[in-house]
């Protein structure tokens, strides 16, 4: 039996941890969603966001800081943080002119709202809480072993979570490497940083991003697949699929006819190249870090695969049980190997790692 690629094992663990966190958050954070679920949901409540949005942006705000400093701390390559306008709209922050530099046109300050300050109290304790759940479910020995296996691959200058991907550049993982190291030992950050490193290596010389290739390109063939079936096969949201399909069709990797998507000859070559590239990166890691180190990482991740679904059960009134999301939710609980994506797709819609 062929071993699963490392990025798939990393992705499942990271997405499963994040979804379990987000479900726990939903139960205690006053909020609203598109289906108006949640404690005291109303229009004056903030939009519910994922752990990813906290980790990549909101945790830096504190009592307030400049937009420039926020971008530096969040390791944004250029321009504003891609989610800044969203968290402002969702009522977690206010963005105001910097009173210390009134004549400087672009000088702005990000300050927390009442909801932002509440989030700062609620989010941080949930990370160790979910880790304790994993220790109880999988055993502390296995969690500690996974931490040890991840550490040799961790670059402390990378973000602590997968970044929001942009439609305009093919959903590539853009981060600013370098700067002051920011060590972390929590499991979520360790998983994210190793996965980001793998993704950067993959996308360094690839026409397609890893989220597009690993999720949507992977499920296509020359016989075609109905468009409505792709979200379930790829295990990501309809919007993530829609954007990926546009990338693949525009690039000539797939063709769409009668609501069916077909893999083209170029797509077949890209799929073969994807498989080879993933294998080449793993071989490169074996040379760089040592074969035994890579094998230890694989064993550490393998130890969690069979029970990942046990932590994915949503709240009884949660948004993931709503009819729009229910089938995908049940699929990932029943069979995480099929129901979780092969790579996170973190969109602007709250930062959920399956694109929801």
Q: Percent of the chain beyond pLDDT 70?
A: 96
Q: Which two tokens stand for residue 335?
A: 């069979």
DSSP 5: P
What is the mean pLDDT of the segment spanning 61-88?
89
Q: Is the pLDDT of residue 42 over 70?
A: no
Average pLDDT, the chain: 93
Return the SS3 of 65.
strand
Short-list 84, 72, 319, CA closest to 176 = 72
Task: List the one residue out of 333, 294, 353, 262 whose CA is nearest residue 52.
Answer: 353
Q: Phi first, then psi: what are they for 161, rounded to 5°?
A: -150, 160
pLDDT in tens, 187-239: 999 999 999 999 999 999 899 999 999 999 999 999 999 999 999 999 999 99
pLDDT for res 177: 74
**pLDDT above 90 as % of the chain:** 79
The token duo for 128 is 């160790």
Q: What is the pLDDT of residue 226?
A: 97
Q: Supply the pLDDT for residue 36.
A: 60
Give the span between the Cα atoms of 294 and 220, in whole angstroms: 30
Domains in the chain: boundaries? 6-211+269-339
The pLDDT score that the predictor gives to residue 76 is 84
| DSSP per-residue codes, 130-191 | HHHHHHHHH-HHHHHHHHHHHGGG--TTS-SSPPPPPTTTTS-------SS-----SHHHHH
Instruction: State the pLDDT at residue 75.
Output: 87
> CA dist 348 to 163, 165, 191, 199, 341, Å?
10, 8, 21, 19, 17
Across the chain, where does the E strand assignment appear? 65-66, 93-97, 108-112, 225-226, 254-257, 260-263
pLDDT at 1: 57
In which band, very low, low, confident or very high, does the pLDDT at 295 lie, cut at 50, 70 and 90?
A: very high
**pLDDT-derived band at 343, boundaries 50, 70, 90:** very high
**What's the whole-number mean pLDDT along residues 60-78?**
90
Mean pLDDT is lowest, of 67-71, 193-197, 200-204, 254-258, for 67-71
Q: Can you give the pLDDT at residue 251? A: 96
Q: Tens digits of per-residue pLDDT, 97-119?
A: 888 776 666 688 999 999 999 99
Among 38-52, 114-128, 157-171, 190-204, which stretch is predicted with the lowest mean pLDDT? 38-52
Residue 259 has pLDDT above 90, yes or no: yes
- For the segment 54-61, the average pLDDT, to the nearest whole number, is 96
Residue 50 has pLDDT above 60, yes or no: yes
């Amino acid at each position: 039996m062929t071993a699963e690629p490392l990025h798939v094992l990393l992705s499942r663990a990271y997405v499963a941890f994040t979804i379990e966190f987000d479900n726990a958050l939903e139960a205690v954070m006053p909020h609203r969603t598109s289906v108006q679920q949640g404690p005291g949901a109303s229009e004056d409540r903030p939009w519910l966001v994922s752990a990813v949005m906290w980790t990549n942006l909101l945790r830096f705000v504190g009592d307030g800081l400049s937009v420039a400093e926020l971008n530096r701390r969040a390791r944004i390559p250029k321009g504003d943080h891609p989610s800044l306008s969203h968290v402002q709209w969702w009522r977690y922050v206010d963005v105001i002119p910097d009173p210390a530099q009134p004549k400087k046109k672009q000088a702005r300050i990000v300050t927390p709202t009442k909801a932002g300050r509440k989030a700062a109290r609620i989010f941080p304790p949930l990370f160790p809480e979910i880790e304790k759940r994993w220790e109880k479910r999988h055993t502390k020995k296995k969690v500690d072993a996974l931490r040890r296996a991840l550490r040799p691959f961790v670059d402390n200058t990378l973000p602590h979570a997968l970044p929001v991907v942009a439609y305009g550049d093919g959903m590539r993982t853009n981060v600013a490497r370098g700067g002051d190291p920011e060590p972390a030992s929590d499991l979520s950050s360790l998983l994210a940083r190793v996965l980001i490193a793998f993704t950067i290596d993959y996308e360094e010389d690839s026409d397609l991003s890893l989220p597009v290739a690993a999720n949507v390109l992977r499920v296509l063939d020359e016989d075609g697949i109905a468009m409505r079936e792709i979200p379930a096969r790829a295990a990501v949201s309809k919007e993530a699929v829609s954007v990926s399909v546009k990338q693949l069709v525009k690039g000539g990797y797939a063709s769409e006819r009668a609501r069916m998507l077909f893999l083209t000859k170029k797509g077949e070559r890209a799929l073969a190249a994807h498989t080879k590239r993933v294998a080449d990166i793993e071989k490169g890691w074996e040379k760089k870090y040592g074969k035994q180190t890579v094998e230890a990482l694989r064993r550490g991740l393998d130890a969690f695969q069979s029970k990942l679904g046990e932590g994915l059960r949503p709240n009884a009134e949660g948004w993931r049980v709503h009819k729009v999301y229910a089938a995908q939710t049940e699929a990932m609980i029943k069979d995480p190997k099929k129901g979780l994506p092969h790579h996170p797709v973190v969109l602007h819609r709250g930062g959920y790692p399956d694109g929801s």
